[in-house]
């Protein structure tokens, strides 16, 4: 083979990868019953059989394509062979385009969370995805909805990343209007009971949780990060004094990684504390292996590609 042919093959391969990386999302219209009236989009679902699926949940004022633009999950999905599902809110359900994580009609195995359950069943039953590798990733309102899925269907959700969220059932209905500013505090047991009460007879494992929160977040107050940790260490039976701390994680002095676990459950809860960041997602725009995401309205380029490390914590990086 001549040198020119080799160069041509490499060039075509690069174009092919970039085309995949920039591919538009595909809408799935018939994923099952949809009591929550949500949309569903997918990417790379042709590789779902026997592989992992990550559900990517957008925040308020976002769309499926909007959260993908800043989180850059496609890059990792192509390289590591897993599928992506993007539930999307409709304006008719919520004028701010938020998932209704605070409405009892959408968070108790009904409404929106039941629609997402049927999306999981579609991935497992129709696409033959690995039922032990169903992951959730959410930002802001999407983070809160990811916790709803963990609380209601712990036997199906392997792990979830909660980026700039608040604990499950901090408040519901009109009471959520008072959640801005100072964090609402509860005991670990009280937080844990809110999760356990969703499945009173359940005695199995609960999902592992990854918490990502900026210290300057005043939308979902930074104090909520500790309350999320209290909730999910409690349901996983982990003592909070068991944490292993990694300051200046990966050489970045803005990132601290803290891991909570036991000899039975390693990495039950992982906390990424992002110093100086507001209600945004950390990214590191670039083409390197550990780079990705874009610096936009809902993200902040701090030279740390959060999606990569979440995928690594999900054990999806090969």
Which residues are known to be catalytic? 140
DSSP line for 204-219: S---EEEEEEETT-TT
User: Distance between alpha carbon 181 and the CA centroid of its chain, in Å?
Assistant: 23
φ/ψ of 27, rounded to 5, equals -80, 135
CA dist 146 → 26, 142, 251 (Å): 21, 6, 29
Q: How many helices (H) and strands (E) does the chain have?
A: 9, 12
Burial of residue 35, with CB atoms counted within 10 A of its CB: 0-12 exposed, 13-18 middle, 19 or more buried: middle
């Amino acid at each position: 083979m001549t040198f020119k042919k080799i160069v041509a093959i490499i060039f075509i391969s690069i174009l092919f990868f970039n085309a995949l990386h920039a591919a538009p999302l595909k809408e799935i219209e018939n994923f099952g019953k949809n009591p929550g009236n949500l949309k569903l989009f997918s990417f790379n679902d042709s590789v779902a059989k026997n592989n992992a699926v990550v559900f990517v949940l957008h925040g308020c004022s976002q769309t499926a394509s909007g959260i993908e633009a800043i989180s850059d999950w496609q890059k990792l999905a192509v390289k590591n062979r897993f599928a992506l599902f993007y539930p999307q809110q409709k304006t008719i359900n919520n004028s701010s385009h938020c998932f209704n994580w605070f409405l009892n009609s959408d968070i108790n195995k009904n409404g929106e969370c039941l629609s997402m359950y049927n999306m999981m069943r579609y991935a497992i039953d129709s696409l033959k995805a690995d039922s032990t590798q169903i992951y959730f990733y959410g930002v802001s309102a999407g983070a809160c909805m990811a916790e709803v899925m963990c609380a209601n269907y712990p036997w199906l959700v392997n792990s979830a990343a909660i980026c700039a969220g608040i604990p499950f059932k901090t408040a519901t209905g009109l009471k959520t209007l008072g959640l801005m500013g100072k964090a609402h505090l509860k005991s670990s047991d009280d937080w844990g009971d809110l999760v356990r009460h969703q499945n009173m007879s359940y005695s199995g494992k609960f999902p592992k949780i990854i918490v990502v929160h900026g210290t300057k977040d005043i939308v979902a107050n930074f104090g909520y990060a500790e309350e999320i940790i209290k909730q999910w260490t409690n349901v996983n039976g982990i003592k909070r004094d068991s944490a292993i701390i990694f300051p200046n994680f990966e050489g970045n002095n803005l990132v601290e990684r803290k891991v909570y676990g036991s000899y039975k459950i390693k990495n039950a809860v992982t906390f990424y504390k992002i110093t100086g960041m507001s209600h945004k997602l950390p990214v590191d725009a670039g083409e390197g292996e550990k780079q990705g995401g874009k610096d936009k309205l809902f993200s902040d380029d701090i030279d740390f590609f959060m999606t990569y490390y979440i995928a690594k914590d999900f054990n999806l990086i090969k």
